[in-house]
Chains A and B, each alone.
Chain A
Amino acid sequence: MQEEDPISVALKEEQVSPNEAPRLSVLQWFRTNLFSNWANAILTILGTLAAFLMLRGVLNFVFSENREWVAVRTNLRALMTLSYPESQYVRVWVALGFVVGLAGLSAGIWSNWGGLPLRRLATWFMGVGGLIALCVVVREPSVIIGTDGKVVRTIEGSPQRESFMDAMVDRSGWWIAAVILLAVGAVLWSRFSSPVRRRGPRAELSITSVVFVGIGLVILSLWVVPYGHYAFVDGTYIAESGTTVAFSTQMPWTVMWVILGLTFLVGRFLRSSRYVGMAKTGSNLLWLICPFALFWVVLRDPALDYGHVMSTDLPMGLAFGLLGGAVLWLLTRSDIGEIGRITATALLVFAVFNWVAAFFGWYPMLQKARISFLLLALAALLAPNFIGDTAKRRQLVLGWLGVMALVHYLATMINTPSTVDLQSDEFLGGLGLTLFVAVIVVILSFPLGVLLALGRTSKFPIFRMLSTSYIEVIRGVPLISVLIFFSVMVPLFLPDGMELAELAAVLTGYTLFSAAYLAENVRGGLQSITKGQYEAADAIGLTAAQRTGFIVLPQALTVSIPQLVGQVISSFKETSLLAIIGLFDFLRVANSVIPAQSEFMGVKREGILVVAMIYFFFNFIISKYSQRLERRVGLGER
């Protein structure tokens, strides 16, 4: 009898109409995809074998009797923030709570996931159950621990292992978990696996219920699972040894997860309300501001002198806001003509002169005032764009008031001494420092990189030359040397009395470095824009700035998303080079701090494995997000 090909068999069995894609049964899928011919079959078998051996290796490593996971569990706090003072720790929680809340809000506002089909849930259950069962079988039998608590050894000295059957019995807990998962999955599957078209509406869980069940399970686990012994700071346990992480941090973590759930609900509500546009803009803006605001919360707490605030800071801010606003209001009159340009230019000259004067010490003017004048001059230069009806003019003036409020607030706060008592230079380390550096560097280097790319493709030779030489010099130098240069050399060149904190110096160097690479990625995007786009923008009368902002950059950045995300990921990973110049980044805590503790002398592998997993977790999220982003912005080009 002649064999029929699987697809026509499937067509017959499923009674699918020919214009729908046929569904293959599991066996048929295997035959068409994995064992279609001899070569394919051999590759499949070899690949499976390799995956099997790797899994076995990882499992044996993780569950080996030599592993001291307690070192990681005890040092969780050190891995996260290293030596941030215990008395101020509430700041870290506040900052984390804010980020978690913002994440929940954004997820709620932006998520366009439909529900979770029970069918898929069933495959997940069965998949996890199957994986557990596989792991239980694959792992080599445990060594036998004698009554004295020591490993029983054979005559040759290698540890004695229990028999395979005993190992299976020992792991019966895992077996039960696997069987339960498989059973639940199978029941769900048999109930909901049929194609939609034959059994009414598709059965699925709403996304809200999925999120809340998930959060509920995590919170429950906080109070049940002993995640780890609690913190070890400056050589002493903060909580009693033997208790779990839950006893000191289960409450804050519970609050975090509750915040996540609640803000997610708020986000979902906003998504369906008519404020959705405003909410999207607002949450984006908050994401941009929050790193700076939060590191502020974590690192500083100004002790305000209210007498000075009332007598100087507040009146000055108000004066700049109101008078500057009035000037801008006048400059946007439709009959202003040449006077506008002259005033703006005069303001700019005056503002720049203030800085020169301050540099040479001709007359003292508060830095705040100098910054404000400079901003006012820039706003005056922008004013012609806002000439028009009252609404447009009001936009400019209100924007000005907002900027003034922010600038004067920040300037006042920065110039006030902090009450946070940071004992040493290494006040922050671990994951906190790594994230701090990565986020700040990415946010700051982005605009700089875009400017450099624009400069390099500019038609003005001077911009082109400067940007090109900058980019080429930076790209020709290793990151480590840039970091060393900024941490060691730059302080030597600074004038007397001027200090640059190590971290600030490093951030500057790293930002400049990262910007050069970003610039090259953006340039690739810029080159993909056709000449026709420039001509069309010119022909409808856009100015060069409008052409760049509305036509060229949006398209260029869209094209370069994959490379930009790659750059973000590598910026994040390369923060581990900070260890070279003496900062205690995430990896260094695992690599040098933990192994140096007398309790865990030389225990390195466990920490590094955990650190690698956490790096991977973050980068996985970034790359998933970028895939979604690519799909979304790709819409316009279909």
Chain B
Amino acid sequence: MNIDDATAAANDRLADRDDMIVCVDVDKFYGDFQALKGVTATIKEGEVAVVCGPSGSGKSTWIRCINRLEVHQGGDIVVDGIELTNDLRNIEKIRSEVGMVFQQFNLFPHLTVLDNITLAPIWVRKKPRGEAESMARALLERVGIPEQAEKFPGQLSGGQQQRVAIARSLAMEPRVMLFDEPTSALDPEMIKEVLDVMKELAHSGITMMVVTHEMGFAREVADRIMFMEGGEIVEVGTPEHFFTNPTEDRTKLFLSQIL
């Protein structure tokens, strides 16, 4: 792992914060294929970490291990001091603190936008319906689509759906937000509206881990960028370091292909 001055400075800035996500030697196998090879990383509270890398590099697998949508076979994952084990109670606790936004939005098509957002607060957080609804409307306002509350997901554009999905995750008042390629399934003209919402979120101080190919977004808001390939973290650094002075050949190759 290579650390230059800027990265050192960023690490200093983050050093006195609490650890939010700690991964130590995480291994993940699909049959004989090893998708994650000893991934070790720490994400601090309030940090915006962008994970990038070529497809098949294991970045989605890793982010999905963090709220146990995938089960890791080796190593430890600790989220906000809770270790991810087979204990259902720990999994439930972590899932209610970690929000996740998917590539395919995964909104519930049979529920209105408002019901999509209020479902978990009402049934998991046990909030009264009125309170949950007013919070949902405030969140819709925040993501810029307050007028769509009564519609069904199928009646919205892709960008609007993804913003509803973000609002749905935020409704649980999570401490960590995971984004799994949130703009990859969107038409080009809708990417910006989703990225704008994510930027606003990043500035609000929530811990974010974002798997994305949007290098502009990474350069603008990431505290650190992690580059993965072949199931390993190849290079970690600030955007400045990453884009102007990458040390690893594989990073350079990736950047030359994508930029």
Q: Measuring CB to CB, which residues of chain A are less than 8 angstroms from any residue of chain B? A: 387-389, 391-392, 530, 532-533, 535-543, 546, 550-551, 554-555, 558, 633, 635-638
Contacts and interface: CB of A to CB of B under 8 A. Distances in A.
B211 interface: no
Contacts of B104: 532
Given A555-B110, A638-B155, A541 B69 contact: no
B172 A541 contact: yes
B106 A535 contact: yes
Given A540-B169, A542-B123, 5 more contacts: A532-B106, A539-B95, A539-B169, A558-B110, A636-B111
Nearest to B169: A540
Nearest to A557: B110
Nearest to B64: A535
A540 B154 contact: no
Contact of B152 (A392, A533, A542, A635): A635
B152 to A, nearest CB: 5
B160 to A, nearest CB: 15
B69 A638 contact: no
A323 to B, nearest CB: 26
A533 B124 CA distance: 17
B81 interface: no
A599 B107 CA distance: 68
Contacts of A541: 92, 95-96, 120, 124, 172
B29 interface: no
Given A636-B110, A638-B152, A638-B155, A538 B69 contact: yes
A636 B126 contact: no
A391 B128 CA distance: 9
B113 to A, nearest CB: 11
A540 B172 contact: yes
B120 A540 contact: yes
B108 A536 contact: yes
B49 interface: no
B120 A536 contact: no
Interface string B14-52: 000000000000000000000000000000000000000
A535 B120 CA distance: 14
A549 B227 CA distance: 40
A308 B238 CA distance: 82
B101 to A, nearest CB: 9
Contacts of A533: 106, 108
A636 B123 contact: no
A534 to B, nearest CB: 9
Contact of A539 (B99, B112, B152): B99
A539 B120 CA distance: 10
Given A540-B169, A543-B92, A550 B102 contact: no
Contact of A636 (B92, B154, B165, B168): B154
A229 to B, nearest CB: 53
Counting from the closest, the 4 A-B pairs by CB-CB distance are: A536-B106, A541-B96, A540-B120, A532-B106
Interface string B84-119: 000000001001101110101011111110000001
Contacts of A392: 126
Contact of B108 (A551, A633, A635): A551
A532 B108 CA distance: 10
A635 B154 CA distance: 9
B67 interface: yes
A636 B128 contact: no
B126 A388 contact: yes
A116 B68 CA distance: 57
13 contacts: A389-B128, A391-B128, A392-B126, A536-B100, A538-B68, A539-B100, A540-B124, A542-B124, A554-B110, A555-B109, A636-B109, A636-B112, A636-B152
Contact of B69 (A388, A535, A551, A636): A535
Nearest to A391: B128
A93 to B, nearest CB: 41
B27 to A, nearest CB: 21
A531 to B, nearest CB: 9
Contacts of B155: 638
B124 to A, nearest CB: 4
B123 A535 contact: no
Contacts of A532: 102, 104, 106
- Counting chain A CB atoms within 10 Å of each CB, the highest count among B92, B95, B109, B119 belongs to B109
A539 B69 contact: yes
Interface in B214-232: none
A540 B168 contact: yes
A388 B154 CA distance: 34
Nearest to B126: A388
A220 B96 CA distance: 65
B122 to A, nearest CB: 10
Contacts of B123: 542, 546, 550
Contacts of A389: 128
Contact of A550 (B69, B98, B119): B119
A638 B151 CA distance: 10
B95 A536 contact: no
A344 to B, nearest CB: 16
Interface string B147-178: 00000101100000000010011001000000
A387 B127 CA distance: 11
A633 B111 CA distance: 11
Interface string B138-153: 0000000000000010
Contacts of B69: 535, 538-539
Nearest to B69: A535
Contacts of B102: 532, 535-536, 539
B95 A387 contact: no
A554 B116 CA distance: 14
Interface in B241-259: none
Nearest to B121: A540
A149 B96 CA distance: 88
A558 B120 CA distance: 22
Contact of B109 (A537, A542, A637): A637
Contacts of A555: 108-110
Nearest to A387: B126
Contacts of B172: 540-541
A535 B95 CA distance: 11
B120 A542 contact: yes
B67 A539 contact: yes
A51 B226 CA distance: 75
B61 to A, nearest CB: 13
Nearest to B97: A541
Contacts of B109: 555, 636-637
Residue of B99, B110, B154 with most partner-chain A CB within 10 A? B110
Contacts of A551: 108
A543 B155 CA distance: 28
Interface string B60-77: 000000011100000000
B77 to A, nearest CB: 15
B222 to A, nearest CB: 22
A388 B125 CA distance: 9
A542 B96 CA distance: 8
Nearest to A633: B110
B162 to A, nearest CB: 12
A533 B96 CA distance: 17
Contacts of B168: 540
A540 B119 contact: yes
Contacts of B67: 538-539
A538 B154 contact: no
Contacts of A546: 123-124
A555 to B, nearest CB: 5
Contacts of A638: 152, 154-155
A555 B109 CA distance: 8
